[in-house]
Amino acid sequence: MNSDLKFTSEIKNKTEKLYKKIEGTIPKIEWPTVAPYIYEINKLKKEKGVTILAHNYQTPEIYYGVADIVGDSLGLAIDGDKVKTDKILMCGVHFMAETAKIMSPEKKILLPDFSAGCSLAESITADDVRKLKKDNPGIPVVTYVNTSADVKAETDICCTSANAVKIIESLNVDKVIFLPDEYLAKYVASKTSVKIISWNGKCEVHEQFTDKEIIELRKKYPNLKVVSHPECPPDVIKASDYTGSTGSMINYVKNTNAKDIFLVTECSMSDNIQIENPNINFVKPCNLCPHMKKITLQGILKSLKEENNYIEIDKKIIQRARGAIERMIAVGR
Ligand code: SF4
C-alpha cells in the first residue's frame, strides 16, 4: 500500500462505522492501510463526479467501502444508466464495463484493470457466432450477458442466469443457439422443452466445485442448505437444495431459516452476504475469481486519478448489442 496515505485520526473517525460493519472480513491490523484508500476514493469520486458500481463478487472493502451501487452485471449496467454523473467506474470485469458502456454510451466508463477478463466471455468470438449462424440458418441466438460487446452484437437476444428460460420460451421456437456457457445451457435445457444448441464455454470458478465436496460437507453439517449458481457443473446442481442467479441466491438467504449455508459461487459473495446476515454460518470451500480480484482499492484510486482506462466501443456495435439487451429487457429481467 502507498506510504503517502496516512491513517490520520480524521480518517480513523470517518471510517470507524464502516470498519465495525466489515471487521469480520478484514483483520484490525490491516485497517490502517485499507481505510486511507477508502477515504481518498470516496473523496475523489465526489470531486470528479464519478459513480462507482461494484459486482456482487467484489471484496467487502470495495462492496461496502466505496461502491455507490452493487449488484449483478446486468443490474449494474441498467442502474448505471440512471445515475446523474457522466462518469462511471466499474469494479468488475471487462465485459461488465462494456455492458455498462452499451447501456450508457454517452458516459465515460472507467475500468481499473483492463486485464480483468472472464473465462466465459473469452470462450467465444463474434466470428464463432457468425459461423454458428451460418451452420444453423434461421435458429435464433440467445446469449448470456457474460460475453463481449462484439458477441452481443451478433445476438438476437441476451439473457441472464435469472431469466434464461423465460427468454428462450418467449421466442416461440423449437430450437435456439444458447451461448456461451455449457453448464448454464444444460441447466436451462432441464427446464424447457426448447432444444438447445450450446457452446463449450465455462466459468473457471464455478466449474471447480464438485458434488463430492457437497456430500462431505453434508456429513459435517447435517442441516446444511446448498445454494448453487447455474454456471456450476450438473452434478453440483443435482446435489444442491436450490439453484439460481446471484440475485436469487441473495433472496434465498434473506428468506431462509437455515443456520448453515453453502453458497456454491465466488467466495466474496458469501463474505458480503455474511455481513448482512451475521447469524448464518456460511460454509466456505473458497473459490475466488482471479479476474474479479484484479480490482483493488489501489487500482480504483489510480483509475480515478488518471481516468486513462476507459471503455471504447464502435457505435454500430453498441447499437446492435444494445438491441439484444433491450429485447431481453422487454421480455423481463
Ligand atoms: S466468476 Fe466466472 S463468470 Fe464471473 S467473471 Fe469470473 S470467470 Fe467470469
Report which ligand 1 atom has the smallest distance to the Cα of 231.
Answer: 3
Residue 276 has pLDDT above 60, yes or no: yes
In DSSP terms, 158 is beta-bridged to 143
To test the ligand 1 pocket, which listed residue (208, 267, 292) has its Cβ within 8 A of the most ligand atoms? 292
CA distance 235 to 47: 50
pLDDT value at residue 75 = 86
pLDDT value at residue 73 = 82
Ligand 1 centre distance from Cα of residue 128 (Å): 20
pLDDT digits (tens, 9 = 90+) for 153-205: 999 999 999 999 999 999 999 999 999 999 999 999 999 999 999 999 999 99
What is the mean pLDDT of the segment spanning 211-220? 96
Ligand 1: which residue has its CA nearest to atom 6?
289
For every residue of 177-202, DSSP letters joined together read: EEESBHHHHHHHHTT-SSEEEE--B-
Sheet holding 195-198, edge to edge: 157-159, 141-144, 175-179, 195-198
333 closest CA partner among 185, 164, 172: 164
Q: Other C-beta atoms within 10 Å of 320: how many?
A: 17
Q: Which amino acid is at 229?
A: H
CA distance 229 to 245: 6
- What domains, with CATH codes, occur in the chain? 9-117+292-306 (3.40.50.10800), 121-202 (3.40.50.10800), 206-282 (3.40.50.10800)
Residue 64's SS3 state is coil
pLDDT digits (tens, 9 = 90+) for 279-318: 999 998 778 999 999 999 999 999 999 999 999 999 999 9
Residue 22's SS3 state is helix
What is the mean pLDDT of the segment spanning 89-118? 97
For every residue of 30-56, DSSP letters joined together read: GHHHHHHHHHHHHHHHHHHTEEEEEET
What is the longest distance spanned by two Cα atoms in the chain? 66
Residue at grid coordinates 460475453: 147
For the entire predicted model, the pTM comes to 0.94
Ligand 1 centre distance from Cα of residue 312 (Å): 22
Report which ligand 1 atom has the smallest distance to the Cα of 121.
Answer: 8
Ligand 1 centre distance from Cα of residue 43 (Å): 30
Question: Which residues, in sequence order, are CB contacts of 14 under 8 Å at separation 6+?
Answer: 39
Residue at grid coordinates 470451500: 285
